[in-house]
Chains A and B, each alone.
Chain A
Amino acid sequence: MKKIILFFLFCINLFAEPQTYIGMNYGGTYEKFTTAKATESSPFLNLKAGYGVRDGYGVEIYFEYVQNKSKIFSSDPATKYDGNKYAINIALVKSFDFDIYVLPFVKAGFGAGSFKVARTLDKRLSYGSFNLGTGIYIPITKHYDIELGYRYKSISHEGLNLISQTIIHTANAYSAYVGFNFRY
């Protein structure tokens, strides 16, 4: 892991003038399960911190909060929804300067999170994801930019314990968001 991070930082330094940045994204995510007939549509919020150049390479880590409005896993009748999701993700970012005012970018990374469920043998469910994203940065000033993006996640949930067997659910999640970044 340390080597990967050092490799990222090395790549970033090759392109010079890296900046630390923080930001926030807000959007909606649509999750469709591949192992069951289930869907989830929820708003989400990202708080992120990154390091890199706006028109080059960067690496960012972001905390994700998803307000869950579905009940896909919980079996307890008294529970209205599965718990809200909390996740940590890390992504490598590459943006491009085509002299068209905006800066298109692509992102790739992975993450892990968990949420509460109300089941007989499972009280919290973890999940892991591989993430791919694209979008644009719209520079406002040297320090501020707006971010419009789209993100795809391939999600694999922790197995549900039925004693006789373990059932693992997987899903594809598609997210669109708007956000801003402050670079310094």
Chain B
Amino acid sequence: MKYIKSLSFIILTLLLNSCGDNTTTPVTKDVNSIGIDNGSPIYKIYSTDFYAPSATVYFNDNTSATITDKVDWTRSDSTMLDISTDSTILPLVNEGNSTLSISYKSFKGMEDSVTVEIIGLDSNTSWNIVSDINTTGETVVLKAEGNFTDGNNSKTIIQNISWTSSDIAIASITSETIADVTKIINPTYTKYTLKALKAGDVNITATLKFNDINASLSKHFTIN
């Protein structure tokens, strides 16, 4: 009997305990929307450059987080832009527009898009080699600059350019893949370095080739 009384008391206590408060405010923030690079509507990208956009999720407590690698990236025109698996965008034409979009698992409202405007070279000849070298043992990063349709006439050409030497005994070229660490997803580009090995004359040729651009440019160097 004593056992029953004790147990009844415990159960009664617990019953009263179960009549506690109910939380009526959500304890976990929720997703409001997602966007490309903080919602800017238009992106301008040079045709000889690359673009590494990021995607952001916005929460209902006014915080946000980067979700670049968690969304699906698509473009409206596959002949204008290429998207690599790490979401790096590469222009495929010298000029044009394409819509770049993100979505998350087909959830309604979980999408965003921006217009990507490709700024092109003025013409096949509107670029030049700016690097210079003249002393044996010297090394220099090969660099070409172009005149673009937005008026920028000193924009470094990063993508779609390759370099060759007419005499590798006089000047050799080495290439190195570089990651752009300023981006969350690190796009890569190739850095070409010229090294003067001995005295003599050499021609360094840059070839710019992609879709509607196919041009070569040579520069003569005399190594002392």
Q: Is the CB of A102 within 8 A of B57?
A: no
Q: Is the CB of A150 within 8 A of B27?
A: no
Is the CB of A119 closer than 8 A to any CB of chain B? yes
A165: B residues at CB distance < 8 A: 65
Is the CB of A14 closer than 8 A to any CB of chain B? no
A165 to B59, CA, bound (A): 12
A136 is contacted by which of B4, B24, B107 (Cβ under 8 Å)? Answer: B4
Q: Is the CB of B3 within 8 A of A104?
A: yes
Q: Is the CB of B31 within 8 A of A72?
A: no
Q: Is the CB of B27 within 8 A of A29?
A: no
Q: Is the CB of A120 within 8 A of B109?
A: yes
B67 is contacted by which of A100, A135, A163 (Cβ under 8 Å)? Answer: A163
B59: A residues at CB distance < 8 A: 162
- Choose the segment among A31-39, A83-91, A106-114 that binds chain B (4+ C-beta atoms closer than 8 Å): A31-39
Distance between B104 CB and nearest chain A CB, rounded to angstroms: 6
Q: Is the CB of B23 within 8 A of A75?
A: no
**Given that A120-B31, A162-B59, A163-B31 are contacting pairs, would A28 and B7 also be in contact in the complex, using a CB cutoff of 8 Å?**
no
B29: A residues at CB distance < 8 A: 75, 162
Is the CB of A181 closer than 8 A to any CB of chain B? no
Is the CB of B22 closer than 8 A to any CB of chain A? yes
Which one of A72, A120, A121 has the greatest number of beta carbons of chain B within 10 Å?
A: A120
Is the CB of A124 closer than 8 A to any CB of chain B? no
Chain A window 53-88, contacts with chain B (Cβ cutoff 8 Å), 1 for yes, 0 for no: 000000000000000011111110000010000000
B1: A residues at CB distance < 8 A: 100
A131 to B77, CA, bound (A): 56
- Pairs of residues from A and B, 3 with the lowest C-beta to C-beta distance, nearest first: A28-B18, A176-B14, A75-B30
Is the CB of A48 closer than 8 A to any CB of chain B? no
**Given that A102-B3, A162-B59, A164-B65 are contacting pairs, would A39 and B18 also be in contact in the complex, using a CB cutoff of 8 Å?**
no
A81: B residues at CB distance < 8 A: 24
B26 is contacted by which of A42, A73, A102 (Cβ under 8 Å)? Answer: A73
**Given that A28-B18, A120-B30, A164-B67 are contacting pairs, would A39 and B23 also be in contact in the complex, using a CB cutoff of 8 Å?**
yes
Is the CB of A167 closer than 8 A to any CB of chain B? yes
A160 to B26, CA, bound (A): 12
Distance between B78 CB and nearest chain A CB, rounded to angstroms: 26
Main secondary structure on A side of the interface with B: strand
A38 nearest in chain B by CB position: B23
A164 is contacted by which of B3, B32, B66 (Cβ under 8 Å)? Answer: B66
Q: Is the CB of B28 within 8 A of A169?
A: yes
A28 nearest in chain B by CB position: B18
Distance between A92 CB and nearest chain B CB, rounded to angstroms: 21
Size class of the contact patch on chain A: 35 or more
A27 to B107, CA, bound (A): 39
B21 nearest in chain A by CB position: A39
Distance between A75 CB and nearest chain B CB, rounded to angstroms: 4
Distance between A69 CB and nearest chain B CB, rounded to angstroms: 5
11 other A-B residue contacts (CB within 8 Å) besides A38-B23, A71-B23: A37-B23, A39-B20, A70-B22, A100-B4, A149-B11, A150-B10, A163-B34, A164-B65, A174-B17, A176-B17, A178-B11
A70 nearest in chain B by CB position: B22
Q: Is the CB of A28 within 8 A of B15?
A: yes
Q: Is the CB of A74 within 8 A of B26?
A: yes
Q: Is the CB of B26 within 8 A of A176?
A: no
Residues facing B in A109-159 (CB within 8 A) are 119-121, 135-136, 148-150
Is the CB of B25 closer than 8 A to any CB of chain A? yes
**Given that A148-B11, A150-B11 are contacting pairs, would A41 and B4 also be in contact in the complex, using a CB cutoff of 8 Å?**
no
A40 to B66, CA, bound (A): 33
Is the CB of A175 closer than 8 A to any CB of chain B? yes
Which one of B24, B59, B107 has the greatest number of beta carbons of chain A within 10 Å?
A: B24
